[in-house]
Amino acid sequence: MIKHSCPYCETIRDVKEVKRNETIEIKGKKVSYEAVHYECTECHNLFDTKEQMGKNLLAAREAYDLQYNSITSDKIIKIREKYNASQKAFSLILGMGELTINSYEQNKSVPNSSNRLLLQLAENPLIFFEMYEKNKTKIGAIQREHIESSQVYKDCKRWGGLENLYQHLSSTEREVIENKTYIVGSSVVQIVSDMVKAEMSKTSFEIYADAHEVEEGTIPSSTDINREFSIGVA
Ligand SMILES: [Zn+2]
């Protein structure tokens, strides 16, 4: 028997766990889930410990996700086919059991929250191919060939991802981008693509003018630096 302080009797009592189906509203939608409470064996009132309240809330959220946020089997098939991967290969790359994806696609089971998160992340080719690099030894050569012949894989290799791009920038240049990201409250991807778009939309004359300016301004004179510094202090 578990012992707990009963808030009704205001003393330590023997309590038992009671499970029951409850319905609550999350984001305006009704969700049913299995809640766990304690029942005092003396006064028979139900009560929750803080820990149980947390667990019940989690169970409700999980039920909500399953009902309204779940990744459908069609969506899983779409993601997997984008990478030319077999069900088994896709499972192993994502670090799941061999038959897991098959069972999701056949609607024999529904992804739990951690696998749902993995599947949502796998939708992003950069993340998927990072998983692929880590787990590709688990799959056969023919499967690897299939995946590497996909258009997304080729595109990813060509771009090399943001990390690759970053390796071509100096730490000062990276700092400029990160500061902008911070100030604007945007992502690095957004900032970099905005910069590229701004550059592309310039007329050739502007690009030429910019290049000229950069050349002249590359080495600032010491008076320039002093002037900037004093402005900064004031
Ligand atoms: Zn009681």
Span 58-117, pLDDT tens digits: 999 888 888 887 788 999 999 999 999 999 999 999 999 999 999 999 989 888 888 999
Domain boundary among 96, 125, 159: 159
**Mean pLDDT across the stretch 227-231?**
44
What's the pLDDT at 123?
92
The answer to whether the beta carbons of residues 82 and 122 sit under 8 Å apart is: no
Predicted confidence (pLDDT) at residue 156 exceeds the cutoff of 90: no
Are 56 and 83 found together in one domain?
Answer: no
Are 91 and 149 found together in one domain?
Answer: yes
Domain boundary among 159, 188, 218: 159
End-to-end CA distance of the chain: 72
Question: Residue 17 domain-assigned?
Answer: yes
- Give exposure, 101-112, as e/b (b: 16+ Cβ within 10 Å): bbbbbeeeeebe
Q: Which residue has the higher pLDDT, 101 or 182?
A: 101
Question: Residue 100 domain-assigned?
Answer: yes
Span 15-53, pLDDT tens digits: 999 999 999 998 888 999 999 999 999 999 999 999 999
Residues with CB under 5 A from ligand 1 (ion): 6, 8-9, 40, 42-43
Residue type at position 26: I
Predicted confidence (pLDDT) at residue 129 exceeds the cutoff of 60: yes
The answer to whether the beta carbons of residues 14 and 3 sit under 8 Å apart is: yes
User: How many folded domains does the chain comprise?
Assistant: 2
What's the pLDDT at 205?
64
Q: Which helix (H) or strand (E) holds 219?
A: none
Question: Residue 24 domain-assigned?
Answer: yes
Listed in sequence order, the DSSP H helices in the chain are: 50-64, 73-82, 87-93, 100-105, 113-122, 125-135, 141-148, 151-159, 161-167, 171-184, 188-201, 204-217, 222-233
Whole-Å CA distances, 42 to 2, 30, 50, 52:
13, 33, 21, 20
Predicted confidence (pLDDT) at residue 54 exceeds the cutoff of 50: yes
Are 55 and 88 found together in one domain?
Answer: no
Residue type at position 98: E
Strand partners, 13: 4
What's the pLDDT at 227?
45
CA of 55 to the centre of ligand 1 (A): 22
- Percent above pLDDT 70 for the chain: 85
CA of 13 to the centre of ligand 1 (A): 7
Which residue segment(s) compose the domain that 21 sits in? 2-69
The answer to whether the beta carbons of residues 35 and 19 sit under 8 Å apart is: yes
Domain boundary among 137, 159, 181: 159
CA of 10 to the centre of ligand 1 (A): 7
